[in-house]
């Protein structure tokens, strides 16, 4: 057991908090709905506090360590095929984790608040919800391949029941499709893990040691080229990589609001995160070989998602497709394997997380009143729901990449990175951004400012609770748009240290 200035315990506490929430709720009778909601809100706030603390405490100086706040507990060692420190609960943070943890804290808290009004079996809902959040935190913190995958699966599985029991619109279909596609993706990840651990021959799942083995050639170049596609397709499904994106629109359409917020806001980032952790860090030679293919898939995803969003009439489908498009940018950024491109990709993961969560929160607020998500059924609702419209416009403009909002910061980095290495791709990516403007403005025009549809004259504006969680998300969008230094400072040492990433 080794500790790093005691801050490892903060990491453990952050991971344990959602699990504790689930356990506490397990022992509250299902009829005590208010108590369940309060417990969830309090735990959510604690997690947000811890996440902010971790983000701030992560040191970003030029000479600071990449991996900080380490906590290691030996789990199984010296047995069967496992050697010394075979599997350890190795929790720590690097710069990418710092951003992702902050994102998780913000999104999971505001989603928990959004689920406040849920009335159908809230006990089961919140238990599953906090298990899912445990999985998300755990994946981000894990530096042990076994636990990375353990938590990754843990984050995916509750979705079946969350969507199947509390969803709407073809929920069974959406839930089954989403679960099968995501768990199907895990097949690739399992195979990659078996291959990596076997080829490294160290008898350990420690990712730092495995990354070393990947870089110094213990895992041969051919093996890396063989295994990389398994890992990237596996994680790519969750990152909505074209052509494995089809769960995303259907799943989001069926999911209840709070659940849409978390998969779109955080879960999809797990996929991209996995590509960095396993694809780039452990299999650098494979990454070098395959990244052009990932780049092409990213570009197709970005364009395809944007065009898809342009043609949809359902609010959630528009956002579902635009998520595909934005995750396409993330893949483009990663595939450049350049410092600025990868930085942009991670920034985009954060930015897309908060703004998509905001979008789904707002859609949920509207849908709860009207039970219609058909864009054409609305018109001129800026008159009755001004706050709602303002928030949506902010989210939409961040989506488009308006300077001053988070989307701009991220996309700018990605475009610069893409132009440096692949100019044509850079051009196509900007085309996708232009399409984003088209689908967003189209929606604004029809829904917010078109001729007022008197059917909606009784609509109420956002509730205080929704306003509060919305403000939290808008705050993050704006802060990252105007003051991105804290984000980039924390990323710099980590991304410079990534193997194969050029200045």
Partner 1 sequence: MRDYTMFIPEYIAAGSALLVLAVELARPGIGKDKIAYLTFLGAVVWGVSGLFYLGNTPGNFMDILRTDDFTTYFRLLAAAIVAVTALLSAQYMQHRTKTAGEYYGLLLTAGVGMVLMAASRELLTAYISLELLSFSLYVLVGFHKRDKLSSEASLKYVLLGAFSSAMFLYGISLIYGATGTTYYEGIANVLAGRSSDTDLGVIVGIMLIIAGVGFKVSAIPFHMWAPDAYEGAPMPITAFLSTASKAAGFALILRLFTGAFAVDPTEWRVVIAVIAAATMTGGNLLAIQQTNLKRLIAYSSIGQVGYMLVVVAAIGYGTAEVGQAASSALLLHIIGYVAATLALFAALIAVYNRTGDDTIRGLRGLSERSPFLAMVIACCLFSFAGLPFFAGFTTKLFMFQASTSSALLWLVGLAVLNSFISLYYYLMIMRQMYLYDAAPNSKLKMNPLLGTVAGLLLIGVLFIGIFPGPAFEAVDGAAEALFEVSAIAVTGGE
Burial class (CB in 10 A: 0-12, 13-18, 19+), 220: exposed
Q: Does 216 bind partner 1 (CB under 8 A)?
A: no
State which of residues 38, 187, 434, 441 lies at the interface with partner 1 (CB under 8 A). Answer: 187
Q: Does 164 bind partner 1 (CB under 8 A)?
A: yes
CB count in 10 Å sphere of residue 286: 28
CB count in 10 Å sphere of residue 463: 14
Q: Does 323 bind partner 1 (CB under 8 A)?
A: no
CB 316 within 8 A of CB 327: no
Give the Cα separation of 78 and 370 in Å (integer).
Answer: 60
Q: Does 151 bind partner 1 (CB under 8 A)?
A: yes
Minimum CB distance to partner 1, residue 461 (Å): 34
Q: Does 28 bind partner 1 (CB under 8 A)?
A: no
Element (H, E) at 88: strand 87-93
Listed ranges 93-101, 175-183, 405-413, 436-444: which one lies at the site for partner 1 (CB under 8 A)? 175-183
Q: Does 179 bind partner 1 (CB under 8 A)?
A: yes
Listed ranges 159-167, 347-355, 402-410, 474-482: which one lies at the site for partner 1 (CB under 8 A)? 159-167
Q: Does 244 bind partner 1 (CB under 8 A)?
A: no
Give the SS3 label for residue 107: helix
Q: Does 468 bind partner 1 (CB under 8 A)?
A: no
State which of residues 16, 52, 57, 183 lies at the interface with partner 1 (CB under 8 A). Answer: 183
Listed ranges 77-85, 291-299, 391-399, 447-455: which one lies at the site for partner 1 (CB under 8 A)? 77-85
Q: Does 79 bind partner 1 (CB under 8 A)?
A: yes
State which of residues 150, 444, 449, 452 lies at the interface with partner 1 (CB under 8 A). Answer: 150
Q: Which of residues 324-343 bind partner 1 (CB under 8 A)?
A: none
Listed ranges 187-195, 284-292, 401-409, 434-442: which one lies at the site for partner 1 (CB under 8 A)? 187-195
Minimum CB distance to partner 1, residue 193 (Å): 8
State which of residues 10, 36, 111, 197 lies at the interface with partner 1 (CB under 8 A). Answer: 197
Minimum CB distance to partner 1, residue 165 (Å): 6
- Residue 310 CA: distances (Å) to CA of 174, 329, 435, 436: 22, 17, 8, 8
Structure tokens at 38: 């309060």
Q: Does 180 bind partner 1 (CB under 8 A)?
A: yes
Structure tokens at 207: 């990712």
Nearer to partner 1 (CB atom), residue 192 or residue 436: 192
Nearer to partner 1 (CB atom), residue 144 or residue 466: 144
Three-class HEC string of 114-177 = HHHHCCCCHHHHHHHHHHHHHHHHHHHHECEHHHHHHHHHHHHCHHHHHHHHHCCCCHHHHHHH
Minimum CB distance to partner 1, residue 141 (Å): 15
Minimum CB distance to partner 1, residue 218 (Å): 14
Q: Does 190 bind partner 1 (CB under 8 A)?
A: yes
CA 475 to chain centre: 18
Q: Does 176 bind partner 1 (CB under 8 A)?
A: yes
Q: Does 368 bind partner 1 (CB under 8 A)?
A: no
Structure tokens at 56: 């701030």
Omega before 354 cis (within 30°)?
A: no
Sequence-separated (6 or more) residues with CB below 8 Å from residue 301: 240, 241, 242, 245, 324, 325, 327, 328, 331
Q: CA nearest 96: which of 359, 330, 262?
A: 330
Minimum CB distance to partner 1, residue 349 (Å): 23
CB 281 within 8 A of CB 231: no
State which of residues 35, 45, 52, 161 lies at the interface with partner 1 (CB under 8 A). Answer: 161
Give the Cα separation of 86 and 72 in Å (integer).
Answer: 12
Q: CA nearest 235: which of 198, 261, 208, 268?
A: 268
Minimum CB distance to partner 1, residue 152 (Å): 9
Minimum CB distance to partner 1, residue 184 (Å): 6
Site residues (vs partner 1, CB under 8 A):
75-76, 79-81, 135, 146, 149-151, 153-154, 157, 160-161, 164-165, 172, 176, 179-180, 183-184, 186-187, 190-191, 193-195, 197-199
């Amino acid at each position: 057991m080794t500790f790093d200035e005691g801050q490892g315990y903060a990491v453990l506490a952050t991971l344990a908090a959602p699990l504790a929430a689930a356990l506490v709720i397990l022992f509250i009778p299902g009829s005590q709905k208010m108590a369940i909601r309060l417990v969830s809100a309090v735990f959510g706030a604690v997690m947000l506090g811890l996440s902010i603390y971790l983000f701030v405490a992560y040191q970003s100086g030029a000479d600071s360590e990449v991996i900080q706040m380490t906590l290691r507990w030996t789990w199984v060692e010296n047995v069967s095929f496992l050697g010394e420190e075979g599997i350890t609960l190795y929790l720590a943070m690097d710069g990418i984790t710092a951003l992702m943890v902050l994102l998780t804290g913000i999104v999971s808290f505001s989603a928990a608040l959004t689920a406040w009004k849920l009335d159908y079996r809230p006990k089961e809902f919140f238990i599953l919800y906090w298990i899912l959040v445990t999985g998300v935190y755990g994946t981000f913190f894990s530096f042990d391949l076994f636990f990375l995958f353990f938590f990754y699966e843990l984050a995916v599985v509750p979705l079946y029941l969350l969507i199947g029991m509390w969803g709407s619109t073809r929920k069974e279909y959406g839930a089954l499709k989403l679960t099968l596609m995501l768990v199907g993706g895990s097949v690739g990840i399992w195979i990659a893990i078996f291959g990596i651990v076997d080829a490294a021959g160290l008898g350990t799942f420690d990712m730092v040691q495995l990354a070393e083995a990947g870089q110094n050639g213990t895992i041969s170049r051919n093996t890396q080229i063989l295994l990389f596609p398994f890992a990237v397709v596996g994680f790519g499904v969750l990152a909505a990589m074209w052509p494995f994106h089809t769960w995303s629109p259907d799943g989001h359409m069926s999911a209840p609001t709070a659940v849409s917020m978390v998969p779109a806001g955080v879960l999809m980032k797990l996929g991209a995160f996995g590509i960095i952790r396993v694809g780039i860090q452990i299999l650098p030679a494979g990454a070098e070989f395959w990244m052009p293919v990932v780049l092409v898939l990213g570009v197709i995803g970005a364009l395809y998602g944007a065009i898809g969003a342009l043609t949809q009439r359902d609010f959630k489908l528009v956002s579902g497709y635009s998520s595909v498009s934005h995750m396409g940018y993330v893949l483009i950024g990663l595939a450049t394997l350049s410092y600025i491109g990868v930085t942009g990709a991670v920034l985009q993961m954060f930015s897309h997380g908060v703004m998509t969560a905001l979008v789904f929160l707002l859609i949920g607020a509207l849908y709860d009143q009207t039970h219609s998500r058909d864009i054409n059924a609305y018109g001129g609702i800026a008159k009755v729901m001004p706050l709602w419209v303002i928030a949506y416009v902010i989210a939409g403009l961040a989506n488009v990449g308006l300077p001053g909002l988070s989307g701009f910061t991220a996309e700018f980095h990605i475009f610069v990175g893409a132009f440096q290495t692949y100019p044509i791709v850079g051009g196509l990516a900007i085309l996708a951004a232009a399409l984003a403007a088209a689908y967003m403005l189209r929606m604004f025009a029809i829904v917010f400012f078109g001729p007022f549809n008197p059917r909606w004259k009784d609509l109420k504006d956002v509730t205080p609770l929704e306003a509060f969680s919305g403000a939290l998300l808008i705050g993050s969008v704006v802060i990252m748009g105007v003051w991105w230094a804290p984000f980039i400072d924390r990323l710099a040492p980590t991304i410079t240290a990534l193997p194969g990433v050029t200045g």
